[in-house]
Amino acid sequence: MTATPPPTPAPTPSGSPASSAPSGSAAGPTLSEAVLAGELPAGDMLRLDRQICFSLHAASRAFNGVYRVLLKDLGLTYPQYLVMLVLWERGELPVKRLGEELRLDSGTLSPLLKRLEAAGLVTRQRSTRDERSVGIRLTPEGAALRERALRVPRRIAGATGFGLEELRDLRGTLDRLIDALDRVDLTGRDEDEAGAEAGEPAGESGTGENGTAARTAEGRGCG
């Protein structure tokens, strides 16, 4: 019996991007690299459906809508719920540390704590060792609320329609995104240089704080 030769691969259309990621990046090219390589028209960068930041914004608003319904019975807003999550997990904390955990400044956190204190769920007390430090802890009522809140994460997970592994993978991806954005140097010139290499006039590349931030977001987070 004569062996059948393997089929000849179909030719790749001229100008089509390679199917495999570049050897230097297992995750594929960055948005800026794709534009410079001609794989993505520069004008497409301004399309709304290309903005990962908008997708995250829309997802956040959708989450808030679901949380608003689920937290109503607990008498909590979503930011208050986050405060309670940290206190249920960590116990008593300095207010400064609580703000660091939640990525909230004192101007945002203080009103939240005042409302929770007025609701009888937390108490604040100035440290006897350091008068500049204020501690926050749960009241017995606040600690007891944890039992009623146990259903919330299950309902949220169900609302997403994702499996357990999908949720873990998504959280891991978002954690990497947060870490990358935290390390962005907004004073760097790498995006401006990329624009110059693409033939973009220097005066339109977005110098200064707003221009650099916008281009950095597009190149690293919003494409």
Cβ neighbours for 84, distance < 8 A, ≥ 6 positions apart: 76, 116, 121, 138, 142, 145, 146, 149
Quickly state the pLDDT bin for 26 (edges 50, 70, 90).
low
Question: What is the predicted pLDDT for the residue at 189?
Answer: 55
Average the pLDDT over 210-218 and give the result: 38
Between strands 122-126 and 134-138, the pairing is antiparallel
Quickly state the pLDDT bin for 25 (edges 50, 70, 90).
very low
Quickly state the pLDDT bin for 71 (edges 50, 70, 90).
very high
As a 3-state breakdown, the chain gives helix, strand, coil percent values, each rounded to 5, of 60, 5, 35
Whole-number percent of the chain with pLDDT over 70: 69
Residue 185 DSSP label: -
Average the pLDDT over 113-132 and give the result: 88
DSSP string covering 196-217: HHTT--GGGS--HHHHHHHHHH
Task: Give 125 or 85, the one with higher predicted confidence.
Answer: 85
Written as one letter, the residue type at 5 is P
**Range among 10-14, 41-45, 94-98 rated most confident:** 94-98
Task: Give 171 or 26, the one with higher predicted confidence.
Answer: 171
Task: Give 40 or 145, the one with higher predicted confidence.
Answer: 145
Task: Give 144 or 133, the one with higher predicted confidence.
Answer: 144
- Contact (CB, 8 A) for 124 and 138: no
Question: What is the predicted pLDDT for the residue at 128?
Answer: 72
Mean confidence (pLDDT) of the chain: 78
Quickly state the pLDDT bin for 187 (edges 50, 70, 90).
confident
The pLDDT tens digits of the residues spanning 154-173 come to 999 999 999 999 999 999 99
Domains defined along the chain, listed by start: 55-161 (1.10.10.10)
